[in-house]
């Protein structure tokens, strides 16, 4: 997948998620200040509902997670793995800043 422009960097709220379309997929994007910007699928694989951008951010054993607002499964912002159920995961996206824009591409 090629790099896709998501938004102006100034448009990202700090310390919470937003949802965006990236190459036809719903993506949750999180700007965590000095900890970086992360992007994962927005669809919760446990329910099939596009809600992860509204999840609660947390850290467990030095790894950043978002908890689904529905059933509270925790998904890693770096690997996409589910903390509670190894059969569940979400895709993760590489993020870069370029000329004041935020770009993303799916990690293989």
- Which domains are assigned to the chain? 4-106 (2.102.10.10)
Q: Where are the alpha helices (DSSP H) in the chain?
A: none
- pTM here is 0.92
pLDDT-based confidence at residue 1 (cuts at 50, 70, 90): low
Instruction: Identify the burial level of 26 via C-beta atoms within 10 angstroms of its C-beta, where 0-12 means exposed, 13-18 middle and 19 or more buried.
Output: middle
| Burial tier of 27 (Cβ tally within 10 Å: 0-12, 13-18, 19+) | buried
For residue 107, the model assigns a pLDDT of 73
pLDDT band at 108 (very low <50, low <70, confident <90, very high): low
CA 47/CA 26 separation, integer angstroms? 15
Distance CA 55, CA 53 (A): 6
Q: Which of 95, 93, 91, 98 is nearest to 75 (CA)?
A: 91
**Using one digit for the tens of pLDDT, what is the confidence trace for 82-93?**
999 999 999 999
């Amino acid at each position: 997948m090629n790099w896709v422009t998501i938004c102006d960097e100034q448009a990202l709220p700090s310390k919470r998620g937003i949802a965006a379309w990236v190459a036809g997929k719903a993506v949750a994007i999180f700007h965590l200040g000095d900890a970086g910007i992360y992007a994962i699928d927005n669809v919760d694989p446990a329910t099939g509902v596009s809600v992860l951008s509204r999840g609660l951010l947390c850290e467990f054993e030095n790894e950043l997670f978002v908890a689904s607002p529905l059933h509270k499964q925790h998904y890693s912002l770096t690997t996409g793995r589910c903390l509670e159920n190894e059969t569940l995961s979400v895709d993760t996206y590489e993020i870069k800043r370029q000329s004041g824009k935020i770009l993303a591409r799916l990690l293989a």
